[in-house]
Amino acid sequence: DAGVTQSPTHLIKTRGQQVTLRCSPKSGHDTVSWYQQALGQGPQFIFQYYEEEERQRGNFPDRFSGHQFPNYSSELNVNALLLGDSALYLCASSLHRTLGTDTQYFGPGTRLTVL
Amino acid sequence: RKEVEQDPGPFNVPEGATVAFNCTYSNSASQSFFWYRQDCRKEPKLLMSVYSSGNEDGRFTAQLNRASQYISLLIRDSKLSDSATYLCVVNNNAGNMLTFGGGTRLMVKP
């Protein structure tokens, strides 16, 4: 049973460029959340996708966008990269519940460096 | 003020010691609480959920005090392998959005 997978593992970009990160959720999960973790800090919630729609969004600018596909996999896109976007980007998958919450399982992350 | 606050440490303890971490959260409507463990340059992994009645998993005990908005984690008989960053995590709504503290770093030494 495959866990959460993310690609690529590492990425180096320059300021102003655009980047796309990918995530495949754990088997049986239908909800994907994205987090940004800067060095020395805890992860910060970016947004969450369920049924191919953005359901919740954290305090991130519109440069951050995403998509969820029918097979539940997801992409995170960041436009006009800034130096401050350098971070570990974590994808977490879970099972949507009408009541209560489900445990989130994290992927290994994509380490983005912006030069 | 951060929504979830933790002492960043590091906590340097010898093997076999007992160590306690604390965390406070600001949103009284918070619904679920967790401790995650994160090894260096790895992803966070769920250590345990936290309940008001307190819960124990082997050497680990977690406690929630809703009145004080305070969460604790106690590690007994520390092992070298316990060295990691421990993240206090709160879920504020049914949408499953996790809010993380900054983490507390633990280093267990021989």
Q: Report the residue of chain A nearest B35, measured CA to CA.
A: A103
Q: Is B58 an interface residue toward A (CB < 8 Å)? A: no
| Predicted confidence (pLDDT) at residue A48 exceeds the cutoff of 70 | yes
For residue A68, the distance in angstroms to the closest alpha carbon of chain B comes to 17
Count chain A–chain B contacts defined by CB atoms under 8 A: 59
Q: Is A101 an interface residue toward B (CB < 8 Å)? A: yes
Q: Judge contact between A80 and A23, C-beta under 8 A.
A: no
Instruction: Give the pLDDT confidence of B46-92 residue by residue, as tens digits.
Output: 999 998 888 999 999 999 999 999 999 999 999 999 999 999 999 87
Segment A17-29 shows an average pLDDT of 96
Rounded distance between C-alpha atoms, residue B107 and residue B17, angstroms: 11
Q: Is B107 an interface residue toward A (CB < 8 Å)? A: no
Instruction: Give the pLDDT confidence of A100-110 residue by residue, as tens digits.
Output: 667 899 999 99
Predicted pLDDT at A96: 82
Q: Judge contact between A44 and A36, C-beta under 8 A.
A: yes
Task: Compute the mean pLDDT over every residue in chain A, rounded to the nearest whole number.
Answer: 94
Which residue has 């209560």 as its token pair? Answer: A100
Predicted pLDDT at A101: 66
Rounded distance between C-alpha atoms, residue B17 and residue A91, angstroms: 34
Predicted pLDDT at A66: 97
Which are the contacts of B67, defined by CB distance < 8 A and separation ≥ 6? none
